[in-house]
Structure 1
Amino acid sequence: MIVRNRWFILGLAMVAQIASLASLFGVPFLLAELRSGYALSTAQAGTLSGLPNLGLLCTLLGWGLVIDRYGERFTMVVSLVLTACSLALLGVVGGAVGAGAVLVLVGAVAGPVNAASGRLVLGLFHARERGLAMGVRQTGQPLGMALAAAVLPTAGQQWGFAGAMLLPAALALAVAPLVALFATAPERAGGGAAPRAAGSPYRHGAIWRIHGVSMLLGVPQVAMLTYALVYLVDAHGWSAPLAGAVIALGQLPGALARLLAGVWSDRRGDRLGPVRIIAAVSGTSLLLLAAATLVLPPLAVVLLLACLVLSLSHNGLTFTAAAETAGMAWAGRAMAAQNSLQAVSSLFAPVLMGAVLTWQGYPAVFAVSALFCAAAVALVPPRRGAT
């Protein structure tokens, strides 16, 4: 039966993640509408776009307990329905304060799909396939970003900010019934409850370092996703739809990079060694981008796309490493904790980079992002085989 097919369930988990992530992180692709609609500066609009992460930060640990207690399917369905309802509220609130409050609410209810779908996939695949499987699932992020970048700028010009955000709301509402029908791991088809929890993995340093690496690499990722489009508009004179289309195309190799990184880690039996390499290459590329914006602007566009791809490449590996380190009984909480800590960096990255942008411009944004990559290289734990 199709409900027992793990690859179908994996695909469904990926679609659910696309709906959730487009709702959470599609706002930066509507920065122009935020600026004009609410009379904000670029830095202020960037800060507003990061507010879903505040909601994530406040609720994800609680959602992790729900995942481990009630199962992935229940959590994902509730989250998707609440996300659609929350986005609909953007059309009835007024002003930047009201929009910001709704974006916090969106973050509070949309976050658990990522952790829940990750735990679902963790139970479906053996360790030797898990890097590939989690890489496939994690392509939901770049694909969700590609969808948002391709559609939302044009939709924003036609319908404004609130109208454009009804599109990810509709996707979330459409996928929720499919999740309710089919999103059950075969070995737990009779119920969603987790096995009794073993000792806490948080008594050891490895998982904290994995979380820290993920937080650090989240800063350049969010910086690129937040300011790439507006950089192409401001510095190169592109239209917002054209910039969005180019960024959307850049997400596709980002998705492929996650798949290849997963296969690479499966063959090595090591999730974190590839993370260290990706962080080092990403930091180097960001420094080159910072220099190119000053001396060779046409090359900067190419490097910008390369940095986008690299910034998206690590997530599947760090997420899988956290889940494997925690074990199945703690996987929901560990992945929710990782997302919560990523939300910290996602919340403060637009604020920090907005201040850097106001202070020294786009080259400084890219150079400061590179420093976070360097810190991540130093923090990666020693080699750990897949469990």
Structure 2
Amino acid sequence: MNDYITSPALRGRWGVLLLCWASLTMTSVDRSAWGPSSLQAGAALGVSLAGLGAFATAYYVGYVLSNIGGGLLGDRLGGRVVLSGSLFMAGGFMVAFGFVPSAGAGIAVQALIGLCAGADFAAGVKLITSWFGERERGLAMGVFTMATSLGTMIANAVVPRLIQSYDWRASYHLFGVVSMGLALLCLALLRDRRGPSVRPPPLRDLVRDRDLLLLGLAGFGGVWGTYGFVTWSNALMVTGRGIDPVAAGTVVVVFAAAGAAGKPVIGLATDLAGRGRKRPAVAVLVAFAGCLLMFGGLESETAFLAMAAFAGLGAYLYSPLLVAMVPGLSGAALAGSAAGGTNALAQLGSVTVPVVVGAVYQATGSFSAAFATLAVGPLAGAVALSFVREPETPARRRAPSLAKRNRVP
């Protein structure tokens, strides 16, 4: 294992991975800043409690669109330019959001933040694919996708303290400036690694690829459960089980921390095993659905804390496996576009699940029913993923696959 991590060929790639990880961490922090600042920002901008969701919706509409556009640009312009540019512009709009005078302006700027921020995911996948081979990619994607969990943790740790010392606008100014500075560092230090020259494949091959569509649907199901839990678990524990708000927040922190720690571990394990990533990902999604169902039957703070780590592992460990599968299905030439497209489809889960779970809980008043609704997502995702035809090795791809058509002889 030591040779795996310290070999000279691999060691030079970690700088690229570190910058990709840092970039995704910052855009995740930017995205997560709204949650802990929403009540204060809404009060300052004259927004009702019900209207706060419009800001998050505006962000995710832009985010989904930029995943698609960022992937296409990354395949054509290179990951370095797209990642650096998207992070710099997202940081600029974060700073601008800290100055917005009204709700309408704030919603518009949130959409612009999302429209810029989503491009760095696909660009990062493009860069990592070019620098890490198939047998090294699980660990790399595990480290890369840790960023989404860490972003949630950082924002929830920093923003409340900034609000206490200054106001809600200070967090947007701080995170925006840090994002812009990191973007300039990425532009200076990142390097695209060009492979052999190939004819750019037609986009219709990507759109028609059955396995990538199923992979995106699997991601949708996983994200449904993950972000549904992040969005609703705190409020559900407080209102449905009478748990103290601080204790409920601690449960969510444990949930996210377990996922962050587990991502690189499962990525490395699947790399070393060399037996594919589909079956472990299916197992994780099924286990996640089971954890959500069990969570819905708990009642005490101690029980919630004990289950939080298991639920967090299920909620996040499928992510690096699905992302690592993308280049093997699409081929390196379309890795950015495929990553952007599948992630855009997956992120639709984060847009729709808050509304659905809220409607179920309002209609039934049932804590268990709300978590059963969340469990449907990862279970359906596991079913979709089971039909994906995963190539056994880069050299033995099935004849009709998109990766086979785009492979260099």
**Quick one: structure 1 residues 131 and 328, their matched pair in 2 at CA, closer, same or farther if it must change by over 3 Å?**
same
C-alpha RMSD over aligned residues:
2.8
What is the alpha-carbon distance in structure 2 between the residues aligned to residue 213 and residue 206 of structure 1? 10
What is the alpha-carbon distance in structure 1 between the residues aligned to residue 43 and residue 196 of structure 2? 48
Stretches of structure 1 that go unaligned for 5 or more consecutive residues are none
Mapped contact 2:252–2:308 kept (Cα < 8 A): no
| Equivalent in the alignment of 2:288 | 282
1:125 to 132, 137, 152: 132
1:40 to 39, 48, 61: 48
| Equivalent in the alignment of 1:372 | 377
Stretches of structure 2 that go unaligned for 5 or more consecutive residues are 1-7, 395-409
**Quick one: structure 1 residues 159 and 272, their matched pair in 2 at CA, closer, same or farther if it must change by over 3 Å?**
farther
Query: Bigger shift: 213-222 or 4-13?
Result: 4-13
**Quick one: structure 1 residues 44 and 285, their matched pair in 2 at CA, closer, same or farther if it must change by over 3 Å?**
farther
Query: What does 1:149-188 align with in structure 2 at a 5 Å threshold?
Result: 149-185=156-192, 187-188=193-194
What is the alpha-carbon distance in structure 2 between the residues aligned to residue 355 and residue 96 of structure 1? 25
Instruction: State the secondary structure of the residue aligned to 1:62.
Output: helix
What is the alpha-carbon distance in structure 2 between the residues aligned to residue 352 and residue 102 of structure 1? 26
1:226 to 228, 231, 245: 231
Report the alpha carbon displacement of residue 22 of structure 1 after superposing the two structures with TM. Answer: 1.2
* Higher Rg of the two aligned structures: 2
Report the alpha carbon displacement of residue 335 of structure 1 after superposing the two structures with TM. Answer: 0.7
Mapped contact 2:221–2:381 kept (Cα < 8 A): yes
Instruction: State the secondary structure of the residue aligned to 1:287.
Output: helix
Report the alpha carbon displacement of residue 39 of structure 1 after superposing the two structures with TM. Answer: 4.7
What is the alpha-carbon distance in structure 2 between the residues aligned to residue 193 and residue 174 of structure 1? 33
1:208 aligns with 2:213: yes
| Equivalent in the alignment of 2:278 | 272
1:76 to 83, 97, 101: 83
Report the alpha carbon displacement of residue 46 of structure 1 after superposing the two structures with TM. Answer: 4.2
Instruction: State the secondary structure of the residue aligned to 1:139.
Output: helix
Query: What does 1:225-244 align with in structure 2 at a 5 Å threshold?
Result: 225-231=230-236, 235-239=242-246
**Quick one: structure 1 residues 27 and 230, their matched pair in 2 at CA, closer, same or farther if it must change by over 3 Å?**
farther
1:304-338 per-residue CA deviation (whole Å, 9 max, x = no partner) reads: 44323321221111111122211111111101102
Report the alpha carbon displacement of residue 76 of structure 1 after superposing the two structures with TM. Answer: 1.1
**Quick one: structure 1 residues 137 and 58, their matched pair in 2 at CA, closer, same or farther if it must change by over 3 Å?**
closer
**Quick one: structure 1 residues 122 and 210, their matched pair in 2 at CA, closer, same or farther if it must change by over 3 Å?**
same
Task: State the TM-score, normalizing by the size of structure 1.
Answer: 0.88
| Equivalent in the alignment of 1:313 | 317
| Equivalent in the alignment of 2:99 | 92
Instruction: State the secondary structure of the residue aligned to 2:83.
Output: helix
2:357 to 317, 335, 353: 353
Q: Which residue type is aligned with residue 139 of structure 2?
A: L
Report the alpha carbon displacement of residue 73 of structure 1 after superposing the two structures with TM. Answer: 0.8
What is the alpha-carbon distance in structure 1 between the residues aligned to residue 294 and residue 167 of structure 2? 36
1:19 aligns with 2:22: no
What is the alpha-carbon distance in structure 2 between the residues aligned to residue 57 and residue 85 of structure 1? 19
Report the alpha carbon displacement of residue 69 of structure 1 after superposing the two structures with TM. Answer: 1.0
Task: State the TM-score, normalizing by the size of structure 2.
Answer: 0.84
1:89-124 per-residue CA deviation (whole Å, 9 max, x = no partner) reads: 223323433322221111001111111111101111
Report the alpha carbon displacement of residue 356 of structure 1 after superposing the two structures with TM. Answer: 2.9
Aligned length in residues: 378
Mapped contact 1:47–1:354 kept (Cα < 8 A): no
Query: Bigger shift: 70-79 or 246-255?
Result: 246-255
| Equivalent in the alignment of 2:64 | 57
Q: Which residue type is aligned with residue 334 of structure 2?
A: W
Q: Which residue type is aligned with residue 223 of structure 2?
A: G
**Quick one: structure 1 residues 91 and 314, their matched pair in 2 at CA, closer, same or farther if it must change by over 3 Å?**
same
Mapped contact 2:212–2:342 kept (Cα < 8 A): no
